[in-house]
């Protein structure tokens, strides 16, 4: 019993929960046609974090997905972050993909990053609790998911800001 | 069974060659169901100087595979004829101890040329895996070699977690409990996101998970229900169970439970509600089908909606024994029924939690491993 209709209804419900219509297709800068390609994070591009592993994952509906595993240079391996970047076909496609991801979260809804003072991406959702242990945001056509994966809970804000900065710099050099 | 070491490495045959000293370097796996009442044969090649001889060969020891009875081997031009000689395992005890991981040693001996004394020939070490029956999807026996052939690096855990279990339900229960209680995994209270799937929930990152089990790295110790259901399904099916990861939903209110890694009963950090929940399910994931949930423990007492809480692993527990019952349900509530013990006793809880089915991208809830 695979209830596709139920999944579609659920997806629509998730869109409503996240007020999709209020931000879908919008960018802070540039046009909705911006399409960045072949963006990679270099091993030394994020301060304080050491790149342990980078892997190109199986494409998701023909969108290129990269995963990076970082460990803090200062925590003896206890602070660990997973960064996933999905290269979507358009700004709107990135926003639809964001819905595809958050509908797989068990939390019914996540807070907007701005409510915790984190202003990154074109649209960004943080996590529940005192600090953001995970963040998902879209900047142009790139969907970014950053998750805490270490035994020592770590705010991902600074890391996510750095990633957003890298994407933005890439856009300035290669406007897509 | 056809096995491989992990995603990247197959196992070459013959499993043992001269120079190998570790049991883990010469693994073999047997399924109880498929070997029951059938002859089990191993094959061995011998070389000798002088070039032509006839010798009796036997092996003592053997653990679960038993000793090997004396058998005459003919050697021509220094090599056994046929090249690989068949030996029947007449004294194996596969099946009597259920699921098993055992390192065995065979002390091979020979005598020839009219001599009456057995002379030492070789000592071989092997890691033997015994499972209930041939693994089910995502694991495959054919084609071989294939990345989805059972991995010994996963069998190393599954056969220990389910050691001694003689039937599917007991094996899946033991594996569920091991995942929940013994691996240091912690629920993602911040968002309830999956950490060990990729490709839009299509694949299980088993290589990364094994890294976590071995040295605490991989993708870390934080998991959600999709991860727990996938881990349970994959390891249970590896020993012959037939589970699949399937959802219930959507958007329902929760009564306090003890999440994986939590010290006590309560709600997730994001509140007392799930957008959906995923478990390892039997059958057709209907109301009457039992499930295994490594993600949490429920309250087993006669009032699961208030304290005190008496924790229970949801193992082989029917999803709902009376799905159409008017709400709220009366107390005392004694049915061993999963959703009633997970959800609030009202329309927003029990009334909103229903079987949905596997995620469309999940290969019917049996995510391929990578």
B48 vs A107 pLDDT, higher one: A107
B189: nearest CB among A9, A59, A129: A129
Q: How far is A174 from chain B (nearest CA, A)?
A: 27
User: Is A133 within 8 Å of B195 when comparing Cβ atoms?
Assistant: no
CB < 8 Å to A128, chain B: 189-191, 269-271
Query: Which of A63, A81, A105 to probe by mutation at the B interface, max B CB count within 10 Å?
Result: A105
Average pLDDT, chain A: 92
Q: What is the mean pLDDT of residues B270-292?
A: 98
3-state secondary structure of A91: helix
The reply to whether A66 touches chain B by the CB within 8 Å rule is: no
User: Is B268 within 8 Å of A106 when comparing Cβ atoms?
Assistant: yes
pLDDT digits (tens, 9 = 90+) for B68-96: 999 999 999 999 999 999 999 999 999 99
Reported confidence tier of residue A4, pLDDT bands at 50, 70, 90: low
Cα separation, A133 vs A154, in Å, equals: 6
Whose tokens are 């010469």? That residue is: B26
Judge whether residue A10 has pLDDT over 80.
yes
Here the tokens at position B124 are 């071989």
pLDDT of residue A2: 43
Q: How far apart are the first and last CA of chain B?
A: 20
Cα separation, A5 vs B275, in Å, equals: 16
User: Is A80 within 8 Å of B220 when comparing Cβ atoms?
Assistant: yes
Among the listed ranges A7-11, A58-62, B47-51, which one has the minimum average pLDDT value? A58-62
CB within 8 Å of chain B, chain A residues 82-141: 82, 100, 103-108, 110, 127-129, 132-134
pLDDT of residue B49: 82
Q: What is the mean pLDDT of residues B308-313?
A: 97
Count other C-beta atoms under 10 Å from residue B123's C-beta.
13
pTM over 0.80: yes
pLDDT of residue A5: 64
The reply to whether A59 touches chain B by the CB within 8 Å rule is: yes
Judge whether residue B8 has pLDDT over 50.
yes
Which of B248, B249, B272, B246 minimizes the C-alpha distance to B259? Answer: B272
pLDDT of residue A176: 66
Q: What is the mean pLDDT of residues A54-77?
A: 89
pLDDT of residue A175: 80
Cα separation, B230 vs A22, in Å, equals: 35
B136 vs A30 pLDDT, higher one: B136
Q: How far is A82 from chain B (nearest CA, A)?
A: 7
Judge whether residue B224 has pLDDT over 90.
yes
Judge whether residue A159 has pLDDT over 80.
yes
CB < 8 Å to A145, chain B: 193
User: Is A106 within 8 Å of B189 when comparing Cβ atoms?
Assistant: no
Which of A112, A99, A136 minimizes the C-alpha distance to A16? Answer: A99
User: Is A108 within 8 Å of B275 when comparing Cβ atoms?
Assistant: yes
């Amino acid at each position: 019993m695979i209830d596709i209709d139920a999944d579609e209804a659920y997806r629509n419900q998730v869109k409503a929960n996240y007020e999709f219509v209020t931000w879908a297709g919008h960018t802070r800068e540039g046009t909705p046609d911006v399409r960045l390609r072949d963006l990679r994070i270099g091993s030394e591009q994020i301060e304080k974090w050491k790149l342990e592993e980078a892997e190109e994952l199986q494409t998701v509906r023909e969108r290129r997905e990269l995963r990076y595993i970082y460990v803090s240079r200062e925590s003896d391996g206890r602070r660990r972050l997973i960064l996933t970047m999905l290269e979507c076909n358009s700004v709107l496609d990135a926003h639809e993909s964001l819905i595809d991801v958050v509908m797989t979260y068990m939390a019914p809804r996540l807070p907007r990053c701005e409510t915790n003072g984190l202003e990154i991406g074109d649209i960004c959702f943080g996590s529940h609790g005192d600090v953001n242990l995970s963040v998902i945001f879209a900047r142009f056509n790139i969907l970014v998911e950053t998750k805490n994966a270490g035994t020592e809970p770590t705010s991902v804000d600074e890391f996510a800001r750095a990633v957003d900065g890298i994407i933005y710099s890439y856009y300035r050099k290669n406007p897509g | 069974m056809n096995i491989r070491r992990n995603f990247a490495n197959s196992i070459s045959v013959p499993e043992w060659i001269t120079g190998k000293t570790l049991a883990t370097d010469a693994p073999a796996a047997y399924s109880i169901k498929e070997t029951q009442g059938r002859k089990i044969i191993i094959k061995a090649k011998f070389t000798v100087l002088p070039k032509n001889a006839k010798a009796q060969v036997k092996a003592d020891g053997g653990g679960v595979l038993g000793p090997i009875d004396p058998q005459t081997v003919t050697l021509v031009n220094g090599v056994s004829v046929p090249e690989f000689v068949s030996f029947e395992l007449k004294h194996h005890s596969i099946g009597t101890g259920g699921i098993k991981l055992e390192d065995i040693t065979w002390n091979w001996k020979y005598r020839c040329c009219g001599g009456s004394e057995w002379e030492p020939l070789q000592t071989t070490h092997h890691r033997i895996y015994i499972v209930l029956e041939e693994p089910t999807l995502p694991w495959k026996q054919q084609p071989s070699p294939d990345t989805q052939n059972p991995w010994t690096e996963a069998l190393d855990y599954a056969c220990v977690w389910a050691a001694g279990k003689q039937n599917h339900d007991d094996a899946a229960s033991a594996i569920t409990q091991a995942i929940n209680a013994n691996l240091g995994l912690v629920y993602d209270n911040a968002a309830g996101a999956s950490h060990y799937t990729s490709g839009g929930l299509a694949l299980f990152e088993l290589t990364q998970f094994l890294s976590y089990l071995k040295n605490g790295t991989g993708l870390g110790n934080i998991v959600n229900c999709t991860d727990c259901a996938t881990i349970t399904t994959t390891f249970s099916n590896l020993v012959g169970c037939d589970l699949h990861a399937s959802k219930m939903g959507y958007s329902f209110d929760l009564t306090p439970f003890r999440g994986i890694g939590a010290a006590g009963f309560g709600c997730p950090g994001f509140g007392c509600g799930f957008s959906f929940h995923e478990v390892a399910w039997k059958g057709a994931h209907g109301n009457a089908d039992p499930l295994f949930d490594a993600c949490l423990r429920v309250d087993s007492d006669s009032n699961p909606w208030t304290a005190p809480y008496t924790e229970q692993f949801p193992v082989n527990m029917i999803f709902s024994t009376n799905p159409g019952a008017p709400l709220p349900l009366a107390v005392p509530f004694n049915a061993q029924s999963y959703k009633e013990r997970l959800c609030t006793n009202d329309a927003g809880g029990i009334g909103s939690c229903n079987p949905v089915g596997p995620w469309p991208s999940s290969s019917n809830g049996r995510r391929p491993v990578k």
